[in-house]
Amino acid sequence: MTTPRTRSFVQVDVFASSPYSGNPVAVVLDGTELTDGEMQRLARWTNLSETTFVLPPTVPEADYRLRILTPDGELPFAGHPTLGSARAWLDGGGMPQHTDRIVQECAAGLVTVRRGEDTLSFAAPPRLRDGALDDAYLDQIMAAFGITRDRVVAHQWVDNGPGWAVIQLPTAKEVLALEPDLSLIPTAMVGAIGAHPEGSRHRFEMRTFAPGVGVPEDPACGSMNAGVGQWLTSTGTAPSSYRVSQGTRLGRAASIEVTADADGTVWVSGAAVVCVRGTITL
């Protein structure tokens, strides 16, 4: 068991369009010497969708290494913890090797984070699985969502580590109306996306359900938006730059920008603001 000591600890609000309206992530800025069990216990205690631990990198290209834990397990990659941890690391005095970017090492590999004036952006990692969902799994999701096949515009695996699948519904209104029975898909990692009316500030509404890692609904999900962005922009279903709103049903107002470069690289951007600074004894 690790000898308890004081460590720097922050909470960062990510993808917030106004204070305390995004998705918080808890960040321990020195995760050295902690056991897997000790990390998991804290992640369960914070009761946030993710808690992260910053560690020294193991490869020279990286500025730091990140472990990302949910209340029920560990993820190889996640989007809002990536941006939130980058902000926390910079706020804590971290000095990246390059002035315009940060390189994060995680179980999924190296992830580049760009620094903007008011936002941070991460480059979407490669998808580990894509293509249409099989009929049996789609039937499970539709049953859990309480919808029929005629309401599904499209569906796709968009897995970049956590195991995401997504269905597209005709409208944002239908996405917001979902009352999923997650007991029917207890191990799922699944999202729903639908279009807002023309002229809206956001092109799409997203909802993300992750009972597979103990998170019934995530207020704002960067990794899901990354995989969906790769899918929608590569097929021409969405323009090369668009905004997504998320968290509405949870009383949040997250705003996520998705942009595809000419070479196909998809960037997921948003605000990341440190809201809590202090120490924690671990």
Residues annotated catalytic, as ranges? 50
User: Residue 238 has which token pair?
Assistant: 């969405």
3-state secondary structure of 69: strand
How is 125-194 classified by DSSP, letter by letter?
PPPSB-SPPPHHHHHHHHHHHT--GGG--EEEE-BSSS--EEEEES-HHHHHH----GGGSTT--EEEEE
Q: What are phi and psi of 146, to 5 degrees?
A: 70, 40
Task: State how far the alpha carbon of 104 is from the alpha carbons of 9, 44, 114, 216, 220, in Å.
Answer: 18, 24, 11, 27, 20
Rounded Cα distance between 76 and 199, Å, is 37
Token pair recorded at residue 235: 């097929």
In the block, residue with structure tokens 């390189």: 103
Whole-number Å distance between alpha carbons of 150 and 198: 22
Dihedral Cα 231, 232, 233, 235, nearest 10 deg = 80
The CA-based angle 188-192-193, given to 5 degrees, is 155
Instruction: Dig out the tokens for 159 from the structure.
Output: 């897995």
Whether the Cβ atoms of residue 209 and residue 216 lie closer than 8 Å to each other: yes
DSSP 22: S
